Amino acid sequence: MTTSFLRRAARPAAVLLVSGAATAAQELPPPEKTEVWKPAPVMVDPGRHGGPPSDAIVLFDGTDLSAWRGRDGAPQWTVADGAMTVRPGTGSLTTKRGFGDAQLHVEWRTPTEIVGESQGRGNSGVFLMGLYEVQVLDSWQNPTYVNGQAASVYKQHIPLVNASRGPGEWQTYDIVFTAPRFTAGGALDQPATLTVLHNGVLVQNHVTLEGPTVFRGAPRYEAHADRLPIMLQDHRNDVSYRNIWVRDLAKSAP
């Protein structure tokens, strides 16, 4: 069988394929049918790098603690040089406002001088709804249990990598949190989830939480309010925070 004969025999099949594709394209709706124009997303000024976007609620701008409560009323942490620092033993701080679904930006710094080891070195925590902790710790060359190192969801999820900077350097957390949902009867309908970028590096990728953070035992859910305060932990270490802002995703959701 000659090559020319094979070429001639293949032509009808090729023509059928092209013809079939053309027919299928004619049967599809025009592209305009799948274009959505309205409602358009609200315009948001993203702000400077690391700074709050225009729809954010600023929780700490470096000047005062007016957005926060202390353990016994007025917060007792110190404010200096644009940062607030734990005064060990005075208690954790909680926001005056409650939040559910949220995008949270926090910058933090552990002490320059290394004191202690493992969980005793630069320990604090960021608690969404006051219940779900993203661990703050000096994890630069500081061995500890890995589900308790910096950027872990404490005792639930190990970070994908250790993106820690050295002691005394400012670090960032960008957290996307979806609050749990409960039925009218108080049963869990949907667990909470967390995504965390540590110094711009993805370390928690939409992980599912098993319940609120606990130090001992296994976490478990109990029904709670849709909105609760954010908490910064006093773990008796001189950890500092600055440039804290939050976007209320429950408020902006369609």
Q: Which residues contact 253 (CB under 8 A, 6 or more apart)?
A: 101
Instruction: Examine residue 44 and state whether it is found in any structural domain, yes or no.
Output: no
% of the chain exceeding 90 in pLDDT: 83
> Phi then psi for 13, rounded to 5 degrees?
-65, -40
For residue 30, what are the domain limits?
Answer: 3-34
Give the tokens for residue 17.
Answer: 């394929």
Q: Is residue 103 part of a domain?
A: yes
Do residues 121 and 110 lie in contact, with contact meaning Cβ atoms separated by under 8 Å?
yes
88 preceded by a cis bond (ω within 30 of 0): no
pLDDT of residue 178 exceeding 80, the answer is yes
- On average, the pLDDT of the chain sits at 92
What is the number of structural domains in the chain? Answer: 2
pTM (2 decimals)?
Answer: 0.87
Instruction: Give the CATH number, domain containing residue 72.
Output: 2.60.120.560
Q: pLDDT class for 51, splitting at 50, 70, 90?
A: confident
Q: What was the pLDDT predicted at 252?
A: 56
The amino acid occupying position 192 is A
Angle at 192 between CA 120 and CA 164, to 5 degrees: 35
The CA distance from 53 to 11, in Å, is 60
Please tell me which residue, 8 or 91, carries the higher pLDDT value: 91
Q: What is the pLDDT of residues 234-244, one digit of tens each?
A: 999 999 999 99
Please check whether residues 84 and 198 belong to one and the same domain.
yes
Cα dihedral sign, 233-236-239-243 = positive
Residue (of 212, 206, 168, 209) closest to 192 by Cα position: 209
**Would residue 41 count as lying in a domain?**
no
Same domain, 27 and 116: no
